[in-house]
Amino acid sequence: MSSFDAEYDVVVIGGGGAGKSAAYTAAKEGGLKVALLEKEAETGGSSVHAEGTGAFESSEQKARGKPDDSWAHYPTRAEGFQRYMDYSSKRCNPAVVRMQVNNTAETIDIYKSLGITYTYVGIYAYDQPAELYTFHRPEGLGARCQEVLLKACVDAGVEIFTSTPAVSLIKEDGRVVGVVASDADGQEVRIGAQAVIIASGGFGGNPEMVLKYSRFPNALDLGYNGPPGNTGDGANMAIAAGADTWEMGTMMFQLAASGKTFSAHISGAAVQPVLWINKKSRRFWDEHVAMSFADSANVVAAQPGAKVYAIFDAATVDHLIEDGSDVGLGDWIVFHQKLTNLRMELEEAAQEGEMCWKADTIEELAAQCGLDPAKVAAEVARYNGHCEAGSDADFFKDPRFLRPVVTPPFFAIELHSTVLVSCGALKVNGDMQVIDTADQPIPGLYAAGLDAGGLYGDSYNLDVPGTANGFAHASGRVAARHAIATIKG
């Protein structure tokens, strides 16, 4: 039998939304002795960036009655369940989806009890068709939620160890009995536990794992916009302990102008459904895919170098500044937002000449981008023909977004597909117990949030907005409740 440096009832690996939710529940509801290990100097992970939380039949939805849009309604749990099944092409795990639709509403009540107010309940982006009205936007967004949940954990008696990454699981006689961690001084510590809950935020920050598991052969060309700690530690230690996986390669990507923030107006301009040209100097898609940041980033991720060029003219610049964006970029650039900084940002970036270029002819512009001038000029001429005809014979883009590229100066912005987080993860059951390759739960081991698979098919579903954050909190809580029940017999 192992000897331990310290012993707890529950050890939680990772201090994001899922980990904190698990730790809080185990300590507050179960009265258990809980350690939360966080690899970074601060807890929070990607959860501090989340703008909203998805939930079904929440008290906030019930109190509001119906969304502002006269034709819309808040979805029932049954509608949510069906949507997840349909979107994933039936590749999700019904037990996990059931857990999601039945438990996300409670998260909203818990946050309200901790002092969070919800400023909006509805959809995420007005330009995505068929979105369900599940998005709950808290005052102060994810950063504030993580702050109050951290305090709640501390108040409930959770012992939090930052700069303390979990390294491996300790397994004896088929059950997980603890964790090996590296403490803040770099010393190895062996921590005993009756239950270990893995909530380490997936592997989005580990390019080799993205390459290994995702369907993108050029994964190493992707950018990264998630937190540094999410490098697949939890998944790897569970796999080493015999765990199985579920749609492991599913990723959440987002587009941005190369090296620029999501809220930069130059990013907002590049993600509009303007003409997109790839590194082969070819138009390759209906650019209106931009209405879903996840889908459009998947499309660009599959192009050479995971980068393309958004090409537009001076008239489109005027349109984006005066009339506003045609599509949003998540909550960072909202639908119809006037991109008032665009001219200044374009001029500055064109001066630097690294990700934005400006020229009076298309050939000159293409040459600056390193593209084939003759091919790009031919593509632009063909595209302008579609605009004139009001019909896109190549990709059937909605005619509302056919803006010709005719008025100089012309601009090109390099648009890069970046990883936010991974969504494919460990195989779990509806209680968030990790399932092994023989299809049996591994006693003592749970996974939550981005480390728990089963909610997605091959892509993140933005049409149920707030899904990942809703799942993080609900799955952490459900894992902790099963651990409490098991420990207390």
Ligand X SMILES: Cc1cc2nc3c(=O)[nH]c(=O)nc-3n(C[C@H](O)[C@H](O)[C@H](O)COP(=O)(O)OP(=O)(O)OC[C@H]3O[C@@H](n4cnc5c(N)ncnc54)[C@H](O)[C@@H]3O)c2cc1C
Task: Give the binding site for ligand X (CB under 6 A).
Answer: 13-19, 37-40, 43-47, 49-52, 54, 165-166, 199-201, 225-227, 229-230, 233, 420-421, 449-450, 466-469, 472
Instruction: Give least dist CB 174 to ligand X, A.
Output: 23
Would you give the distance in Å from CA 411 to the centre of its chain? Answer: 30
250 versus 467: smaller Cβ distance to ligand X: 467
Considering just the CA atoms, what is the radius of gyration of the chain in Å? 24
The minimum distance between CB 431 and ligand X, in angstroms, equals 17
We find the least distance from the C-beta atom of residue 250 to ligand X, in angstroms, to be 13
In the complex, the smallest distance separating the C-beta of residue 200 from ligand X, rounded to whole angstroms, is: 4
- The residue among 233 and 313 lying less far from ligand X, judged by its C-beta, is 233
As a whole number of angstroms, the distance between CA 483 and CA 432 comes to: 10
Q: What minimum distance in Å lies between the beta carbon of 449 and ligand X?
A: 2
- Would you say 470 and 109 are in contact if contact means Cβ atoms under 8 Å apart? no
Nearest approach, Cβ of residue 39 and ligand X (Å): 4
d(CA 14, CA 412): 41
Angle between helix 467-487 and 94-113 (nearest 10): 90
- Between 10 and 317, name the residue whose CB sits nearer to ligand X: 10
Residue 335, helix vs strand vs coil: coil
Please identify, using beta-carbon distances, which residue of 19 and 457 lies nearer to ligand X.
19
CA 406 to chain centre: 37
Q: How far apart are CB 327 and ligand X at their closest, in Å?
A: 17
Under 8 Å between Cβ of 420 and 253? yes
Which long-range contacts (C-beta less than 8 Å, at least 24 apart) are formed by 151-158? 151/114, 152/20, 152/24, 152/28, 152/114, 153/20, 153/23, 153/24, 153/27, 153/36, 156/23, 156/24, 156/27, 156/28, 157/27, 157/33, 157/34, 158/23, 158/24, 158/26, 158/27, 158/34, 158/35, 158/36
Picking from 360, 238, 371, the residue whose alpha carbon sits closest to that of residue 310 is 371
